[in-house]
Chains A and B, each alone.
Chain A
Amino acid sequence: MEINGHASELAAAAGRVTPTAKARLLRRNCELPPIPSVAVNLLGLLAKDDVAMADVAATVSADATIAAEVLRAANTAYYGIRGEVTSIQHATTLLGVARIRALAATIGLRRYLGQALRLPAVQRCWRHNIATAATAEQIALRVGGNPADSYTAGLLHDIGRMALIVAHPKQYPAFLDAADCRGTELLQLERNLLGLDHCEAGLWFTQQLLLPQVFQDCAGHHHNVDAVGPTDMLARVTAACQLSEWMGYWVTPLPDQADLDPSALDRVAVTLPMTQRVTLLSEVADLTADVGEQVRATESMFEP
Protein backbone atom coordinates (compact mmCIF):
# COMPACT_ATOMS: atom_id res chain seq x y z
CA MET A 1 0.00 0.00 0.00
CA GLU A 2 1.42 3.35 -1.00
CA ILE A 3 0.57 6.08 1.46
CA ASN A 4 1.73 9.18 -0.30
CA GLY A 5 -0.24 12.35 -0.54
CA HIS A 6 -1.45 12.15 -4.09
CA ALA A 7 -4.67 14.03 -4.53
CA SER A 8 -6.81 11.01 -5.23
CA GLU A 9 -5.47 9.15 -2.24
CA LEU A 10 -5.93 12.15 -0.02
CA ALA A 11 -9.46 12.52 -1.23
CA ALA A 12 -10.13 8.86 -0.53
CA ALA A 13 -8.48 9.09 2.84
CA ALA A 14 -10.44 12.19 3.72
CA GLY A 15 -13.51 10.09 4.30
CA ARG A 16 -11.80 8.05 6.98
CA VAL A 17 -10.23 10.64 9.27
CA THR A 18 -11.59 13.08 11.78
CA PRO A 19 -12.79 16.41 10.42
CA THR A 20 -9.95 18.29 12.06
CA ALA A 21 -7.29 15.99 10.73
CA LYS A 22 -8.96 15.92 7.33
CA ALA A 23 -8.98 19.69 7.03
CA ARG A 24 -5.37 19.89 8.06
CA LEU A 25 -4.28 17.14 5.74
CA LEU A 26 -6.08 18.51 2.74
CA ARG A 27 -5.08 22.11 3.34
CA ARG A 28 -1.45 21.41 3.75
CA ASN A 29 -1.25 18.60 1.23
CA CYS A 30 0.94 16.64 3.55
CA GLU A 31 2.51 13.35 2.82
CA LEU A 32 2.90 10.36 5.03
CA PRO A 33 6.10 8.50 4.51
CA PRO A 34 5.53 5.38 2.44
CA ILE A 35 5.68 2.16 4.33
CA PRO A 36 7.66 -0.66 2.67
CA SER A 37 5.39 -3.07 0.87
CA VAL A 38 6.69 -6.06 2.78
CA ALA A 39 5.87 -4.34 6.08
CA VAL A 40 2.43 -3.43 4.75
CA ASN A 41 1.83 -7.05 3.82
CA LEU A 42 2.85 -8.20 7.27
CA LEU A 43 0.74 -5.58 9.04
CA GLY A 44 -2.05 -6.45 6.62
CA LEU A 45 -2.23 -9.86 8.28
CA LEU A 46 -3.79 -7.99 11.19
CA ALA A 47 -6.59 -6.58 9.11
CA LYS A 48 -8.67 -9.76 9.09
CA ASP A 49 -10.04 -11.47 12.13
CA ASP A 50 -10.11 -14.90 10.54
CA VAL A 51 -6.99 -14.96 8.44
CA ALA A 52 -6.16 -18.50 7.31
CA MET A 53 -3.01 -20.24 8.38
CA ALA A 54 -2.04 -20.73 4.73
CA ASP A 55 -2.36 -16.97 4.04
CA VAL A 56 -0.10 -16.15 6.94
CA ALA A 57 2.50 -18.66 5.86
CA ALA A 58 2.35 -17.44 2.25
CA THR A 59 2.73 -13.78 3.20
CA VAL A 60 5.65 -14.41 5.51
CA SER A 61 7.31 -16.79 3.05
CA ALA A 62 7.05 -14.27 0.22
CA ASP A 63 10.07 -12.37 1.56
CA ALA A 64 13.08 -14.54 2.23
CA THR A 65 14.59 -12.13 4.76
CA ILE A 66 11.39 -11.85 6.73
CA ALA A 67 10.87 -15.60 6.61
CA ALA A 68 14.37 -16.11 7.96
CA GLU A 69 13.72 -13.67 10.82
CA VAL A 70 10.48 -15.43 11.74
CA LEU A 71 12.19 -18.80 11.70
CA ARG A 72 15.04 -17.47 13.78
CA ALA A 73 12.58 -16.11 16.31
CA ALA A 74 10.57 -19.31 16.36
CA ASN A 75 13.72 -21.25 17.19
CA THR A 76 14.66 -19.11 20.18
CA ALA A 77 14.28 -20.58 23.63
CA TYR A 78 11.58 -18.05 24.42
CA TYR A 79 8.98 -19.97 22.46
CA GLY A 80 10.06 -23.28 23.96
CA ILE A 81 9.65 -25.38 20.84
CA ARG A 82 11.36 -28.76 20.96
CA GLY A 83 13.40 -29.55 17.89
CA GLU A 84 14.28 -27.25 15.03
CA VAL A 85 11.61 -25.31 13.18
CA THR A 86 12.58 -25.45 9.53
CA SER A 87 9.67 -23.94 7.63
CA ILE A 88 7.17 -21.15 8.03
CA GLN A 89 4.34 -23.62 7.70
CA HIS A 90 5.82 -25.61 10.56
CA ALA A 91 6.26 -22.46 12.68
CA THR A 92 2.69 -21.39 12.00
CA THR A 93 1.39 -24.79 13.00
CA LEU A 94 3.39 -24.85 16.21
CA LEU A 95 2.92 -21.25 17.32
CA GLY A 96 -0.51 -20.54 15.92
CA VAL A 97 -1.78 -17.84 13.61
CA ALA A 98 -2.12 -15.15 16.27
CA ARG A 99 1.45 -15.57 17.47
CA ILE A 100 2.90 -15.58 13.95
CA ARG A 101 0.88 -12.47 13.11
CA ALA A 102 2.22 -10.71 16.18
CA LEU A 103 5.72 -11.79 15.29
CA ALA A 104 5.30 -10.62 11.70
CA ALA A 105 3.97 -7.25 12.90
CA THR A 106 7.01 -6.85 15.15
CA ILE A 107 9.35 -7.55 12.26
CA GLY A 108 7.38 -5.32 9.89
CA LEU A 109 7.34 -2.38 12.28
CA ARG A 110 11.02 -2.66 13.01
CA ARG A 111 11.78 -2.79 9.33
CA TYR A 112 9.74 0.40 8.89
CA LEU A 113 12.08 2.24 11.28
CA GLY A 114 15.12 1.17 9.27
CA GLN A 115 18.31 3.10 9.83
CA ALA A 116 16.65 5.50 12.26
CA LEU A 117 17.11 2.81 14.91
CA ARG A 118 20.73 3.90 15.27
CA LEU A 119 19.52 6.94 17.24
CA PRO A 120 19.08 6.56 21.00
CA ALA A 121 15.68 8.27 20.97
CA VAL A 122 14.41 5.85 18.34
CA GLN A 123 15.82 2.91 20.28
CA ARG A 124 13.85 4.14 23.31
CA CYS A 125 10.71 4.32 21.17
CA TRP A 126 11.24 0.78 19.97
CA ARG A 127 11.88 -0.57 23.48
CA HIS A 128 8.81 1.27 24.76
CA ASN A 129 6.76 -0.31 21.99
CA ILE A 130 7.86 -3.88 22.60
CA ALA A 131 7.65 -3.39 26.38
CA THR A 132 4.10 -2.06 26.04
CA ALA A 133 3.28 -5.03 23.81
CA ALA A 134 4.73 -7.46 26.34
CA THR A 135 2.98 -5.73 29.24
CA ALA A 136 -0.37 -5.77 27.45
CA GLU A 137 0.08 -9.48 26.84
CA GLN A 138 0.98 -10.09 30.47
CA ILE A 139 -2.03 -8.09 31.63
CA ALA A 140 -4.26 -10.23 29.42
CA LEU A 141 -2.71 -13.40 30.82
CA ARG A 142 -3.28 -12.21 34.38
CA VAL A 143 -6.68 -10.53 34.30
CA GLY A 144 -8.27 -11.66 31.04
CA GLY A 145 -8.14 -10.91 27.34
CA ASN A 146 -6.55 -12.34 24.21
CA PRO A 147 -2.79 -12.33 24.90
CA ALA A 148 -1.55 -12.33 21.29
CA ASP A 149 -3.93 -9.62 20.13
CA SER A 150 -3.11 -7.57 23.24
CA TYR A 151 0.56 -7.87 22.33
CA THR A 152 -0.15 -6.65 18.81
CA ALA A 153 -2.31 -3.75 20.00
CA GLY A 154 0.45 -2.73 22.38
CA LEU A 155 3.00 -2.99 19.62
CA LEU A 156 0.95 -0.73 17.35
CA HIS A 157 -0.13 1.81 19.96
CA ASP A 158 2.74 4.15 19.05
CA ILE A 159 2.77 3.51 15.31
CA GLY A 160 2.09 7.23 14.86
CA ARG A 161 5.37 7.94 16.59
CA MET A 162 7.07 5.59 14.15
CA ALA A 163 5.57 7.57 11.26
CA LEU A 164 6.83 10.83 12.77
CA ILE A 165 10.30 9.33 13.18
CA VAL A 166 10.43 8.23 9.56
CA ALA A 167 9.03 11.57 8.37
CA HIS A 168 11.29 13.72 10.56
CA PRO A 169 14.35 11.54 11.11
CA LYS A 170 16.40 14.37 12.62
CA GLN A 171 13.95 16.72 14.24
CA TYR A 172 11.57 14.30 15.94
CA PRO A 173 14.30 12.25 17.69
CA ALA A 174 15.91 15.53 18.78
CA PHE A 175 12.51 16.59 20.10
CA LEU A 176 12.15 13.34 22.05
CA ASP A 177 15.54 13.93 23.63
CA ALA A 178 14.67 17.47 24.67
CA ALA A 179 10.99 17.28 25.60
CA ASP A 180 11.13 16.24 29.24
CA CYS A 181 7.43 15.66 29.74
CA ARG A 182 4.82 13.01 28.89
CA GLY A 183 1.14 12.52 28.23
CA THR A 184 -1.05 15.37 27.11
CA GLU A 185 1.69 17.94 27.64
CA LEU A 186 3.92 16.05 25.24
CA LEU A 187 1.11 15.82 22.69
CA GLN A 188 0.71 19.60 22.83
CA LEU A 189 4.42 20.12 22.23
CA GLU A 190 4.24 17.77 19.24
CA ARG A 191 1.36 19.79 17.82
CA ASN A 192 3.30 23.00 18.43
CA LEU A 193 6.27 21.65 16.51
CA LEU A 194 4.79 19.49 13.76
CA GLY A 195 1.14 20.49 13.55
CA LEU A 196 -0.06 17.10 14.74
CA ASP A 197 0.68 14.72 17.57
CA HIS A 198 1.64 11.07 17.49
CA CYS A 199 -1.88 9.96 18.36
CA GLU A 200 -3.36 11.85 15.42
CA ALA A 201 -0.65 10.37 13.21
CA GLY A 202 -1.34 6.92 14.61
CA LEU A 203 -5.05 7.16 13.97
CA TRP A 204 -4.38 8.26 10.41
CA PHE A 205 -1.84 5.53 9.85
CA THR A 206 -3.95 2.67 11.17
CA GLN A 207 -6.90 3.91 9.13
CA GLN A 208 -4.73 3.95 6.04
CA LEU A 209 -3.67 0.38 6.74
CA LEU A 210 -7.33 -0.57 7.18
CA LEU A 211 -6.53 -2.16 10.52
CA PRO A 212 -9.41 -3.22 12.77
CA GLN A 213 -11.09 -0.52 14.85
CA VAL A 214 -9.58 -1.77 18.08
CA PHE A 215 -6.06 -1.12 16.76
CA GLN A 216 -7.12 2.30 15.49
CA ASP A 217 -8.48 3.14 18.94
CA CYS A 218 -5.27 2.11 20.64
CA ALA A 219 -3.07 4.05 18.21
CA GLY A 220 -5.26 7.15 18.30
CA HIS A 221 -6.55 7.37 21.85
CA HIS A 222 -4.10 5.80 24.28
CA HIS A 223 -3.59 9.22 25.87
CA ASN A 224 -7.29 10.08 25.85
CA VAL A 225 -9.43 7.07 26.52
CA ASP A 226 -12.47 9.24 27.17
CA ALA A 227 -12.56 10.07 23.46
CA VAL A 228 -13.90 6.65 22.53
CA GLY A 229 -14.88 5.11 25.83
CA PRO A 230 -12.47 2.59 27.25
CA THR A 231 -12.84 -0.66 25.41
CA ASP A 232 -11.25 -3.58 27.16
CA MET A 233 -8.33 -3.53 24.75
CA LEU A 234 -7.84 0.24 24.92
CA ALA A 235 -7.93 0.14 28.71
CA ARG A 236 -5.39 -2.69 28.69
CA VAL A 237 -3.03 -0.99 26.24
CA THR A 238 -3.25 2.36 28.00
CA ALA A 239 -2.41 0.66 31.28
CA ALA A 240 0.42 -1.23 29.57
CA CYS A 241 1.84 2.00 28.14
CA GLN A 242 1.85 3.61 31.58
CA LEU A 243 3.25 0.53 33.29
CA SER A 244 6.05 0.12 30.78
CA GLU A 245 7.08 3.73 31.37
CA TRP A 246 6.96 3.07 35.11
CA MET A 247 9.23 0.05 34.61
CA GLY A 248 11.78 2.25 32.84
CA TYR A 249 10.88 1.72 29.19
CA TRP A 250 10.09 5.39 28.68
CA VAL A 251 10.61 7.50 25.58
CA THR A 252 11.03 10.97 27.06
CA PRO A 253 12.99 11.46 30.25
CA LEU A 254 11.35 13.16 33.20
CA PRO A 255 13.34 15.34 35.57
CA ASP A 256 13.57 13.97 39.10
CA GLN A 257 11.68 10.74 38.53
CA ALA A 258 13.10 7.34 39.28
CA ASP A 259 12.06 4.15 37.53
CA LEU A 260 10.08 1.58 39.56
CA ASP A 261 9.08 4.22 42.09
CA PRO A 262 6.37 2.57 44.26
CA SER A 263 4.72 5.90 45.03
CA ALA A 264 4.23 6.54 41.29
CA LEU A 265 2.09 3.40 40.95
CA ASP A 266 -0.88 5.39 42.21
CA ARG A 267 -1.08 7.06 38.83
CA VAL A 268 -0.73 4.09 36.49
CA ALA A 269 -3.16 1.53 35.15
CA VAL A 270 -6.14 3.56 36.35
CA THR A 271 -7.98 2.69 33.13
CA LEU A 272 -8.42 -0.89 34.28
CA PRO A 273 -11.41 -1.99 36.36
CA MET A 274 -10.57 -1.75 40.05
CA THR A 275 -10.47 -5.47 40.70
CA GLN A 276 -8.16 -6.06 37.74
CA ARG A 277 -5.94 -3.18 38.78
CA VAL A 278 -5.61 -4.46 42.32
CA THR A 279 -4.75 -7.93 41.06
CA LEU A 280 -2.20 -6.59 38.63
CA LEU A 281 -0.45 -4.24 41.03
CA SER A 282 -0.28 -6.91 43.72
CA GLU A 283 2.05 -8.87 41.47
CA VAL A 284 3.82 -5.97 39.80
CA ALA A 285 7.27 -7.34 40.65
CA ASP A 286 6.55 -10.58 38.80
CA LEU A 287 4.96 -8.61 35.99
CA THR A 288 8.09 -6.48 35.66
CA ALA A 289 10.31 -9.57 35.55
CA ASP A 290 8.16 -11.27 32.92
CA VAL A 291 8.06 -8.16 30.76
CA GLY A 292 11.82 -7.77 31.07
CA GLU A 293 12.35 -11.34 29.92
CA GLN A 294 10.05 -10.85 26.96
CA VAL A 295 11.69 -7.57 25.95
CA ARG A 296 15.11 -9.21 26.04
CA ALA A 297 13.83 -12.13 23.97
CA THR A 298 12.37 -9.80 21.37
CA GLU A 299 15.52 -7.71 21.19
CA SER A 300 17.62 -10.84 20.80
CA MET A 301 15.66 -11.68 17.67
CA PHE A 302 17.27 -8.73 15.94
CA GLU A 303 20.81 -9.01 17.22
CA PRO A 304 23.37 -9.68 14.52
Chain B
Amino acid sequence: MTPPRPRAAGPTPRGTAAAPADVPAMPAPFSTVPTILLVEDDPAVRALLANFLRHAGYKVVTAADGAEAITALEGHSRLDLLVTDVVMPHMDGRALAAAVRARQPDLRVLFISGYPVEVEPGAGDATATGHTAKPLTRSTLLAQVAGMLGSPAEQPPPPVEPAPRTFTDSGPGDSV
Protein backbone atom coordinates (compact mmCIF):
# COMPACT_ATOMS: atom_id res chain seq x y z
CA MET B 1 0.00 0.00 0.00
CA THR B 2 1.20 3.46 -0.73
CA PRO B 3 2.33 5.10 2.49
CA PRO B 4 0.43 8.21 3.50
CA ARG B 5 1.96 11.43 2.35
CA PRO B 6 2.78 14.02 4.97
CA ARG B 7 0.29 16.79 5.43
CA ALA B 8 1.38 20.08 3.97
CA ALA B 9 1.21 23.18 6.14
CA GLY B 10 0.19 25.34 3.22
CA PRO B 11 -0.17 25.36 -0.52
CA THR B 12 2.38 23.17 -2.17
CA PRO B 13 5.02 25.18 -4.00
CA ARG B 14 5.01 24.84 -7.72
CA GLY B 15 7.71 22.86 -9.37
CA THR B 16 8.19 20.29 -6.64
CA ALA B 17 8.42 16.62 -7.39
CA ALA B 18 5.48 15.00 -9.06
CA ALA B 19 2.97 13.28 -6.82
CA PRO B 20 0.68 10.38 -7.64
CA ALA B 21 -2.33 11.74 -9.47
CA ASP B 22 -4.74 10.00 -7.16
CA VAL B 23 -5.10 9.95 -3.41
CA PRO B 24 -4.21 6.53 -2.03
CA ALA B 25 -6.61 4.49 0.02
CA MET B 26 -7.37 6.64 3.04
CA PRO B 27 -5.35 5.25 5.93
CA ALA B 28 -6.12 7.97 8.45
CA PRO B 29 -9.34 7.13 10.29
CA PHE B 30 -9.26 10.42 12.16
CA SER B 31 -8.90 12.62 9.11
CA THR B 32 -11.39 15.48 9.09
CA VAL B 33 -10.98 16.30 5.41
CA PRO B 34 -14.10 15.14 3.56
CA THR B 35 -13.54 12.27 1.18
CA ILE B 36 -15.36 12.29 -2.14
CA LEU B 37 -15.78 9.38 -4.52
CA LEU B 38 -15.96 10.83 -8.02
CA VAL B 39 -17.33 8.54 -10.73
CA GLU B 40 -17.20 9.75 -14.33
CA ASP B 41 -16.58 7.67 -17.44
CA ASP B 42 -14.97 10.45 -19.52
CA PRO B 43 -11.29 10.44 -18.45
CA ALA B 44 -10.69 14.07 -19.40
CA VAL B 45 -13.72 15.30 -17.44
CA ARG B 46 -12.91 12.97 -14.53
CA ALA B 47 -9.37 14.29 -14.23
CA LEU B 48 -10.61 17.86 -14.53
CA LEU B 49 -13.30 17.60 -11.84
CA ALA B 50 -10.97 15.69 -9.52
CA ASN B 51 -8.39 18.43 -9.91
CA PHE B 52 -10.93 21.14 -9.06
CA LEU B 53 -12.09 19.25 -5.96
CA ARG B 54 -8.61 18.42 -4.70
CA HIS B 55 -7.44 21.98 -5.02
CA ALA B 56 -10.53 23.09 -3.14
CA GLY B 57 -9.31 20.98 -0.24
CA TYR B 58 -11.16 17.69 -0.54
CA LYS B 59 -9.77 14.19 -0.69
CA VAL B 60 -10.86 12.62 -3.93
CA VAL B 61 -11.00 9.03 -5.05
CA THR B 62 -11.85 8.51 -8.70
CA ALA B 63 -13.45 5.71 -10.64
CA ALA B 64 -14.31 5.30 -14.30
CA ASP B 65 -17.55 3.37 -13.80
CA GLY B 66 -19.80 1.75 -11.24
CA ALA B 67 -17.85 -1.48 -10.96
CA GLU B 68 -14.60 0.37 -10.41
CA ALA B 69 -16.31 2.54 -7.82
CA ILE B 70 -17.54 -0.50 -5.89
CA THR B 71 -14.02 -1.90 -5.91
CA ALA B 72 -12.64 1.42 -4.72
CA LEU B 73 -14.98 1.39 -1.76
CA GLU B 74 -13.23 -1.68 -0.39
CA GLY B 75 -10.29 0.47 0.58
CA HIS B 76 -12.35 3.11 2.34
CA SER B 77 -14.11 2.72 5.62
CA ARG B 78 -16.35 5.68 5.01
CA LEU B 79 -17.14 8.22 2.33
CA ASP B 80 -18.57 11.68 2.80
CA LEU B 81 -19.94 12.25 -0.69
CA LEU B 82 -20.49 10.36 -3.91
CA VAL B 83 -20.31 12.56 -7.00
CA THR B 84 -21.39 10.54 -9.99
CA ASP B 85 -22.36 10.92 -13.59
CA VAL B 86 -25.83 9.53 -14.21
CA VAL B 87 -25.38 8.06 -17.67
CA MET B 88 -22.56 5.53 -17.66
CA PRO B 89 -22.04 2.13 -19.27
CA HIS B 90 -22.76 -1.09 -17.31
CA MET B 91 -24.07 0.54 -14.12
CA ASP B 92 -25.68 3.98 -14.21
CA GLY B 93 -25.29 6.56 -11.47
CA ARG B 94 -28.59 5.78 -9.79
CA ALA B 95 -27.83 2.07 -9.53
CA LEU B 96 -24.41 2.90 -8.18
CA ALA B 97 -25.86 5.24 -5.57
CA ALA B 98 -28.29 2.55 -4.46
CA ALA B 99 -25.48 0.01 -4.19
CA VAL B 100 -23.28 2.33 -2.18
CA ARG B 101 -26.14 3.40 0.07
CA ALA B 102 -26.78 -0.24 0.86
CA ARG B 103 -23.44 -0.08 2.63
CA GLN B 104 -23.71 3.47 3.91
CA PRO B 105 -27.36 4.59 4.07
CA ASP B 106 -26.64 8.19 5.05
CA LEU B 107 -24.21 8.79 2.18
CA ARG B 108 -24.71 12.08 0.40
CA VAL B 109 -24.92 11.83 -3.36
CA LEU B 110 -24.49 14.50 -6.02
CA PHE B 111 -25.63 13.44 -9.47
CA ILE B 112 -24.17 15.07 -12.58
CA SER B 113 -26.25 14.86 -15.70
CA GLY B 114 -27.03 16.58 -18.93
CA TYR B 115 -30.67 15.71 -18.40
CA PRO B 116 -33.16 16.22 -15.55
CA VAL B 117 -33.04 13.20 -13.29
CA GLU B 118 -35.43 11.83 -10.73
CA VAL B 119 -33.50 10.47 -7.81
CA GLU B 120 -34.46 8.64 -4.68
CA PRO B 121 -33.83 10.71 -1.57
CA GLY B 122 -31.19 9.35 0.74
CA ALA B 123 -31.69 8.19 4.27
CA GLY B 124 -30.22 11.39 5.64
CA ASP B 125 -31.60 14.91 5.66
CA ALA B 126 -33.08 16.80 2.73
CA THR B 127 -29.66 17.77 1.40
CA ALA B 128 -28.50 14.15 1.14
CA THR B 129 -29.17 14.05 -2.58
CA GLY B 130 -28.35 16.74 -5.08
CA HIS B 131 -28.27 17.20 -8.80
CA THR B 132 -26.18 19.48 -10.96
CA ALA B 133 -26.55 19.90 -14.69
CA LYS B 134 -23.99 19.67 -17.43
CA PRO B 135 -22.21 21.65 -18.71
CA LEU B 136 -20.71 22.02 -15.30
CA THR B 137 -18.59 24.95 -14.22
CA ARG B 138 -16.03 24.88 -11.45
CA SER B 139 -17.82 27.39 -9.26
CA THR B 140 -21.12 25.54 -9.61
CA LEU B 141 -19.53 22.23 -8.69
CA LEU B 142 -17.70 23.64 -5.68
CA ALA B 143 -20.79 25.50 -4.48
CA GLN B 144 -22.90 22.33 -4.72
CA VAL B 145 -20.30 20.23 -2.92
CA ALA B 146 -19.75 22.86 -0.24
CA GLY B 147 -23.50 23.08 0.25
CA MET B 148 -23.74 19.35 0.80
CA LEU B 149 -20.59 18.90 2.87
CA GLY B 150 -19.63 22.25 4.22
CA SER B 151 -16.64 24.02 2.81
CA PRO B 152 -13.27 22.44 3.54
CA ALA B 153 -11.78 25.91 3.88
CA GLU B 154 -11.47 25.46 7.63
CA GLN B 155 -9.44 22.32 7.13
CA PRO B 156 -5.69 22.34 6.54
CA PRO B 157 -4.94 22.27 2.82
CA PRO B 158 -4.49 18.74 1.48
CA PRO B 159 -1.17 17.56 0.10
CA VAL B 160 -2.11 18.28 -3.48
CA GLU B 161 0.55 19.21 -5.95
CA PRO B 162 0.31 20.31 -9.55
CA ALA B 163 -0.23 17.43 -11.91
CA PRO B 164 2.87 16.07 -13.55
CA ARG B 165 3.48 18.47 -16.37
CA THR B 166 2.69 16.56 -19.50
CA PHE B 167 1.79 17.88 -22.87
CA THR B 168 -0.48 15.03 -23.86
CA ASP B 169 -3.91 13.89 -22.82
CA SER B 170 -2.59 10.49 -21.91
CA GLY B 171 -0.52 12.00 -19.13
CA PRO B 172 -1.96 12.28 -15.63
CA GLY B 173 -3.29 9.01 -14.34
CA ASP B 174 -6.49 9.35 -12.42
CA SER B 175 -7.77 5.85 -11.94
CA VAL B 176 -8.35 4.30 -8.58
Residues of A within 8 A of B44 (CB): 168, 170-171, 174
Tell me if B163 counts as interface (CB < 8 A to partner A). Answer: yes
Residues of B within 8 A of A32 (CB): 167
Q: A178 near B168 (CB under 8 angstroms)?
A: no
Query: Closest residue to A19 on the B side, CB-wise?
Result: B15
Residues of A within 8 A of B48 (CB): 171, 174-175, 178, 193
Tell me if B45 counts as interface (CB < 8 A to partner A). Answer: yes
Q: A193 near B163 (CB under 8 angstroms)?
A: yes
Main secondary structure of the interface of A (DSSP, over half): helix
Task: Give complex CA distance A164, B167 in Å.
Answer: 7
Q: B169 near A168 (CB under 8 angstroms)?
A: yes
Q: B165 near A171 (CB under 8 angstroms)?
A: no
Name which of B67-75, B78-86, B89-97, B131-139 contacts chain A. B131-139
Interface size on B, residues (CB 8 A): 29
Which of A28, A163, A192 has its CB near the most chain B CB atoms (within 10 A)?
A192
Write the nearest CB–CB distance from B27 to chain A, whole angstroms.
25
Q: A30 near B163 (CB under 8 angstroms)?
A: no
Per-residue CB contact flags for chain B residues 123-147 toward chain A (1 = under 8 Å, else 0) read: 0000000000001111111000000
Residues of A within 8 A of B162 (CB): 191-195
Q: A195 near B138 (CB under 8 angstroms)?
A: no
Q: B139 near A31 (CB under 8 angstroms)?
A: no
Residues of A within 8 A of B31 (CB): none
Task: Give complex CA distance A23, B51 in Å.
Answer: 23
Per-residue CB contact flags for chain A residues 196-217 toward chain B (1 = under 8 Å, else 0) read: 1000000000000000000000
A191-B162, A196-B165 known; A171 vs B47 contact (CB < 8 Å): yes
A180-B138, A191-B162, A195-B162 known; A30 vs B167 contact (CB < 8 Å): yes
**Complex A-B: 30 CB contacts under 8 Å:** A28-B18, A28-B164, A28-B166, A30-B165, A31-B167, A31-B168, A33-B168, A163-B167, A168-B168, A168-B169, A169-B169, A170-B43, A177-B135, A178-B48, A178-B52, A178-B137, A178-B141, A180-B137, A180-B140, A181-B138, A189-B52, A189-B138, A192-B51, A192-B55, A193-B47, A194-B165, A195-B163, A195-B166, A196-B165, A255-B139
